[in-house]
Amino acid sequence: MRRLFPLLLVVGFVSLAAFAQTDAPPPGEFPSVTTTGTTRPETVSDLNAQLVWLMAAAPASNDSPQESAARNEYQREALGKLSVQQLESLGGILREFRSRHDAFAGEYNALVPTMARDDVWVEYRNFRNKVNDLVAETVRHLNDSFPADSSQLHSTIEGAKSHIAVTTYHSSVDTNYSSNPRTTATGFAMFTGTISSNTKGVGYATAVVVGMVPGCRGKNFPLVMVSSSSAPIVGPMTLPWEYINFQYTTPTSKAAGLAGIMVTCEMPD
């Protein structure tokens, strides 16, 4: 029988009872700490907020019409009304970001099955450095390409911080991890957030889950609760140490976006 434990949980406007089908983790089972931008905005860095926004706004090759419409809304709210030529330029920048980010993620995850525990810290650090550099490069490109709209872009991403949570690995709980000074500097973290639009009371919301916290000995999978009355949307299973890269988009009339986002650990018996 599968045992399901919440590894991290971010709730928008629904109680924890919405996820009552999962069990509470045993004390110390998952050495991680979650903080939210609502209560502690300083924990959400500009770079990580930019990553979450870009994951919601950047087109993917397999986008549905609904996802394309949502991304167009997020882009419009962040950069205003653009000309046809500007929209083509914007689309090129964001598609390039998506392509490179997903390629980096695929390369890292392909290493996981053969990765020794002591190698996780350096491989993940190197991967996240690539992602961080890509995010910074993309935001600079956007600011340079649309200088009149750079302040609006900044304000939009700043506003998104209140709907982003950061889960970090708490190394002091894991003696094998904390005894190695190299690994304690890795910065294992997972970021969950909701990017939403609310034009005239009707819009879209996109749940974004990106990152990795190595606290689960089984498989991880994200759950998105659209509303308190609906069944959760279940994302793909990922192996321990794999980078989770999951987004889910839905129409919404709620300014807050979604009811909640969870990453669940399926523990082996």
Residue 17 is predicted with a pLDDT of 34
- On whether the CB atoms of residues 163 and 193 are closer than 8 A, the answer is yes
The whole-model pTM stands at 0.84
Task: For residue 65, give the DSSP letter.
Answer: H
Q: What is the pLDDT of residues 226-249, one digit of tens each?
A: 877 778 888 898 888 899 999 999
3-state secondary structure of 160: helix
- Please state, in angstroms and as integers, the Cα–Cα distance from residue 162 to each residue in 190, 229, 253, following that order: 16, 24, 18
- Per-residue pLDDT averaged across 124-146, rounded? 94
Q: What is the CA radius of gyration of the chain?
A: 18
Other C-beta atoms within 10 Å of 32: how many? 22
Q: Which of the two residues, 163 and 145, has the higher pLDDT score? A: 145
Determine the Cα–Cα distance for residues 9 and 32; give it in Å rounded to an integer.
11
DSSP E strands in the chain: the ranges are 3-11, 32-36, 164-169, 189-196, 203-212, 219-225, 233-234, 244-252, 260-267
Q: Taking 80 as the threshold, does the pLDDT of residue 258 lie above it?
A: no
- Candidate from 116-125, 183-192, 209-218 with smallest mean pLDDT: 183-192
Determine the Cα–Cα distance for residues 32 and 69; give it in Å rounded to an integer.
36
Domain residue limits, the chain: 40-214+240-252
Confidence of residue 142 (pLDDT cuts 50, 70, 90): very high
CA nearest neighbour of 206 among 237, 139, 251 = 251
- Per-residue pLDDT averaged across 133-159, rounded? 95
Q: What is the pLDDT of residues 63-107, one digit of tens each?
A: 999 999 999 999 999 999 999 999 999 999 999 999 999 999 999
